[in-house]
Every structure is written in C-alpha cells, then in structure tokens.
Amino acid sequence: MIDIEKEAARIAEQGECAPRLARDPVNLPMINNWLEAIGDEHPGYTEVAPPAMVQVWTMGGLRGQRSADDPLGAMMAVLDEAGYTSVVATNSDQTYHRYLEVGEHLSVTTSLEDVTGPKRTGLGEGWFVTTRSTWWVGDEAVAEMRFRVLKYKPAQKPEPKREAPRAQAIRPSVNRDTEYFWEGTRRGELRIQRCGGCGLLRHPPGPMCPECGATKPKYLVSEGYGVVYSYVVHHHPQVPGKQTPFVVALVELDEGVRMLGELDGEPSVGLPVEVVFTKVDDELTMPSWRPRADR
Amino acid sequence: MNAAIAGIGATDFSKDSGRSELQLAAEAVRAALDDAGLEPSDVDGLVSFTMDTNAEIAVARELGVPELTFFSRVHYGGGAACATVQQAAMAVETGAAEVVVCYRAFNERSGHRFGQVQTAAAANIDNSWSYPMGLGTPAAMVAMFARRYMHEYGATSEDFGRIAVIDRKHAATNPHAWFHGRPITLEDHQSSRWIAEPLRLLDCCQESDGGVALVVTSAERARDLPNRPAHVRAAAQGSGADQFTMTSYYRDDLTGLPEMGVVARGLWERSGIGPSDVDVAVLYDHFTPFVLVQLEELGFCGRGEARDLVASGALELDGTLPLNPHGGQLGEAYLHGMNGIAEAVRQVRGTAVNQVAGVEHVLVTAGTGVPTSGLVLGRG
C-alpha cells in the first residue's frame, strides 16, 4: 500500500522546484493569437500582455516534458501508482502583480501546497491536489496561481453505461405469485411478501406459506435499507444488458429477508446499502443497490 | 444394494467432437456394453439427465436395443450424475429391468455452453430473482457462496487454488485427460484472470464435448461378466431446506451445502462405512470452493477446516484421501460428473492410470449448488 499522505509530505517538503524558463519572451504574435482565440477585442494589448495569459508563456508546448523536480508531476505519479489514474482540473486562482511587457522573459516555479483525500465525488473516489506557482521576471514575482486538480479512480459505472444496453437486458418472467413485486418496483416500492395468515416475511415469494400453509400472501413495503451479505464482481463472460465488470450483491434487508441486485459502488461484506430503482421501460423497473448516502 | 456397475465406456474428450450428441451417446453406450461383455439386446433400461438432449428411445434406436422396460431421467444438471446409477440400481433391485445403461453425452464446448449466460433460463420463475439482476452464470452463482465462505472462515483464493493444482497434477499423468501433461502451479492459479470474483479462471472447470456411459446390473449377473464388478454399496440423493438451483441464498447460513449433507447421511447409513473408510474421493469439481465445502459436509473435517485438510497434503495420491486421481473435471473433462463415476469404477477394478493401492471403497459425488447425489462403490 502506498501511503499517499506521507508521499505528499515528502514532495511538499522539497519546496519550490527550480525555475523553468519560458520558451519565448512575451511577444505580440502570441498575444494576438490568444486575443483571437478568447474573443477579446480590447485594443490596449499592443505593448503589454493580457494578465490572464500568464500561464501561456511558460507552457511546455506540444511535446513538453515535466521537469524531474516538478512537484505536480511527482504527486500525479504517486496517485497513478495508487490507482487514482484519472485527472480533472477543478479550479485555479490567479493573482497578477503587474502587466507584463513585450520582450520580458518569464520563468516559473511550483511547489506542492496541499493534498487531501480520499474523497467520494461524483466522478469516483479521489484526492484533491493543490499546487502554488509563481512567475518571475528576474527576481521579481509578477504573478501567482493556486491550481487544484482532482486525481480519481473512475467510478465503476459511469452514468451513460446504464442507458445503451437496456433493450437487451434479461427480463424476469412474471406470474401470479410474483407480479406484486414488479408492480411495486414500477411504483418505486420494494415489496416483501408477508403471509396473510401468520405474517411470515419471505423472499423469493411463493403461493403457499411454508410456515402456516395459508394461501393469502400480502406484502409490506420495505424501507429499502440493508447490508451486503455477500457479493460477486462479474468479469466474464459478457452478460446481456450489463457492462463488465459489475457487482451483484446479496443484500440482507433490515426487515430480515435477502435479495439480489446490482450494486453501484465499491462492495464489501457488511456495507450499508439502500435500494435504487432503474426504469428499463414502462413494463419493467429493476431494483438495485447503492451505498447508503447517510452513512 | 444388490447392484453393480459392470461396464464403463466413453468417447474421446475434446473441445469439438465433430459429431452429433446422439452419436456421442450411442458411441459411449456401445463402448460400455463392450466393456461389460454385453450386447444391445441385453439392455432393457436407460437412464439419463433431464438436461440430456438424447431421448432414451433415440439411443435405443441407434444401438438396436429392441425393448425397454425402464427409462428415467434425473433433474438438476450435474446433480443428477450419481442419481442415474441410483435409478438404475433401484430398477435392477425391483426387477423393473435387468441391464440398465446410464448415459450422458453432449457437445458442451462446441455447442451449447453452460458457462455462458443462459438468457432463456430466466423464463424460470426462480431464476427471475437472479438472472435479471446480472447473476447469470454458474461461476457467478458459486462465487456468491465463496465470498461468504471466505468471510466466515478466512479461506483465501489460494485455498481454492490448491484444489485446481491437485486436479491438474493428477490429470497431467492421465492420457485421457484434456490437460494431460499440463500441470499448473499455485502461482499460475493466482495469476489467472478473474471470472467472477472471488473465482479466477483456474477455479472454474473446463468445458468439454464427449459422452460417458455406465452399465448397471445385478451383483449376481455382474459376477459372471468379464470385469471385476464395482458394487453399489450405497446411492443417495439429497435436497435441502429452502432449496434452489445454484442460488440457495436465502437459508440462514451460506457456507454449507446442506443438500450434500443429506447425501452424506444417506451414504454413510446405507453403506455402513464412514469417512475414514474411504480410500479414494471423486468429488464434483466444477468450481473449486465447493470441493472444500463438500469435504466438510461429507465429514472429512469440521466446518471451515477444509483448507487445512487440503494444505496438509491429504488429497494427494499418496495421502489419506486421494482426490480425483483422473484429474477431475478441472483436469480430465467436464462430463457432468459421469467421468468421475467411471474413474471410481476403475479404481475399484484396480485399472486406473493413477491407481491408488488397495482400494476397497470409493466415494463419488455429483454436482454441487444444486439438488445432488452420491455413491459409494466397493469391491463388495
């Protein structure tokens, strides 16, 4: 196991990387290209550059390589190694001390400011990495930036996944003994058969109570909460309507019966889950599980 | 029981037989009759699995069997294997038939593969609580048990892997085995890909084309036939409380196979022997975790202790309980357990390629996770 916090502390302790010199001095052709691309028609940028362009001057170019002591590169490598392989920039705050004049040659230094996590996000579990960069002209600091990225493990099932293959999903067969259940899921209710004679709760259901022999099954509506009793991560072969790998969990509901369903989340035995209903079409709504939002 | 297996026969075991399932069945039955020194005209009973596509009358037509007085089928996939012999033995004992052939033949690899998702199976109401949720293969269904077993007893993937290593080691010296000459190491097992976590590829048995047949007749008649009879010392079927096919997930406990416990009680009571009297164990091994659970259900060790028994070396050919000397289904071929019964007969005869010395009693089990069956065969 990689100790991410320890690695972060080690990288932060190295402080600022060596100054990296911009490829070109501040120049008019690049300013004009930038103004056009951004759609900025302000006529004043003939001798000074737009402040928001500051990052542009020290970009690495198409085939740029991070320097060996670049703290963001080092931290990304640590997180890649730990399985957090995807990245998204979340925010940046820039401070400009003055306008940059055409002909000035910039350099930039960067340090690692903060690494926090692991956090559960919509994209998946990840770490927020914040760096601080300073641009220099000689030994004068001309601009600063705090830059934050989320480095994350992509969630097991991105949203669109549920959409495409629904048409081929395996459908349950429904008969007189089981139709109450599927009618329930259509209405957003997870129904558990309850014997009209002795009150026995039973899943999967059947027409005759094995406890008292009554043939008048009723149902109660489950609160929809339970814990994972066991689970499978299915890899092979392909399953119609599913994208591998996916998790199927056997959940023990708080009411006491067990029920199978797909689980959208990192599985473990004992994980508290709640029911989710996914509409396949007008006839069929499938119940599945996700980790309890309040736990 | 007053019945014995007097003949065994099989086709080659392959991945693509190149012939119809009926031809495989007919070839296997003819081979078994040849082995028993009997003619098709001696046969008056046929038994198979409900899953077999070859009707008894079709097999009888191909063989030229003139009349049948007994024909029967057993349900629940591989759980039927030993029960076919039980059906045959009961028919012989009651006089319903004199010579009954049990057969199973399929193109399970080149044709209809059980390891794929059986979309049509969801038409079954029981399966409507599993297949639509994405639990649609035997491997995944067993994996659900295996995960809970690991959770309760601390068993690991390596504990499962040791079963595969033993089977493949035995298959390596069996020329009839698909994996002849191809043993594996525990490292091979551990590096094989996930199929349905916690099951890896090498926890799952291969898929095969082929056929196996067994000739059952009375002990008296068997005595006059060419081969040493393998007496049916006991045969038993078992189904447990709240039983489902592969998905008995709603019982209090998910770490046992109570249906195999029912079979075990029947076998020990009727044969008069116990676990310590077993010289060879041919245990159904479609997926490794259930071999461990069977060892516990059959009384070879306590609950959760099978991994220690396996690690002790007891299941090696020179151990106290040699397991699947032919290589099992993981190593020899997947013939729905029928090739395991044939191996048990060879062990009793003393003609197996990996022969265990001084065999008196062989235990055979059928498919697990489903209502199942078992046999004790002996020298009689």
Q: Which CATH code is given to the segment(s) A4-152?
A: 3.10.129.10
Contact call for residues B139 and B286 (beta carbons, < 8 A): no
pLDDT of A294 reads: 79
pLDDT of A42 reads: 87
Mean pLDDT rounded to a whole number for chain B = 97
pLDDT of A163 reads: 45
Distance from C-alpha of B253 to C-alpha of B270, rounded to nearest angstrom: 27
Other CB atoms within 10 Å distance of the CB of residue B265: 15
* Residue ranges for chain B with pLDDT beneath 50: none
Q: Both tokens of residue B134?
A: 């994405």
**Three-class secondary structure assignment of B320-352:** CCCECCCCHHHHCCCCCCHHHHHHHHHHHHCCC
Chain B contacts of A203, Cβ < 8 Å?
129, 250
- Does pLDDT of A165 surpass 70? no
Distance from C-alpha of B126 to C-alpha of B131, rounded to nearest angstrom: 9
The set of catalytic residues of B is 284, 334
- Which of B137, B148, B197 is opposite residue A237, by nearest beta carbon? B137
Contact call for residues A22 and A107 (beta carbons, < 8 A): yes
List pLDDT tens digits, range B219-258: 999 999 999 999 999 999 999 999 999 999 999 999 999 9
pLDDT of B70 reads: 98
Chain A contacts of B112, Cβ < 8 Å?
none
pLDDT tier at A41 (50, 70, 90 boundaries)? Answer: confident
**Three-class secondary structure assignment of A172-226:** CCCCCCCHHHHHHHHCCCCEEEEECCCCCEECCCCCCCCCCCCCCEEEEECCCEE
Query: Order of strands across the sheet with A191-195?
Result: A201-202, A191-195, A217-221
pLDDT of A94 reads: 92
| Location of structure tokens 């979340």 | A90
- CA-closest candidate to residue A226, choices A193, A259, A181, A183: A259
Distance from C-alpha of A151 to C-alpha of A258, rounded to nearest angstrom: 37
State pTM to two decimals.
0.76
B89-116 as b/e: b if 16+ CB within 10 A:
bbbbeeebbbbbbbbbbbbbbbeeebbe
Contact call for residues B147 and B140 (beta carbons, < 8 A): no
- Does pLDDT of A161 surpass 70? no
CA atoms lying within 13 Å on the CB side of residue A114: 10
Chain A contacts of B119, Cβ < 8 Å?
170, 240
Distance from C-alpha of A29 to C-alpha of A33, rounded to nearest angstrom: 6
Q: Domain boundaries in chain A?
A: 4-152, 166-291
Distance from C-alpha of B3 to C-alpha of B84, rounded to nearest angstrom: 13
- Which of A169, A230, A232 is opposite residue B132, by nearest beta carbon? A169
List pLDDT tens digits, range B25-53: 999 999 999 999 999 999 999 999 999 99
pLDDT of A167 reads: 59
Q: Provide residues of A within 8 Å CB-CB of chain B.
A: 169-175, 177-178, 203-204, 229-242, 245-246, 248, 250, 257-262, 269, 286, 288
List pLDDT tens digits, range B302-322: 999 999 999 999 999 999 999
Q: At a CB cut-off of 8 Å and minimum separation 6, what does B213 contact?
A: B7, B8, B9, B10, B25, B28, B29, B31, B32, B101, B102, B103, B104, B338
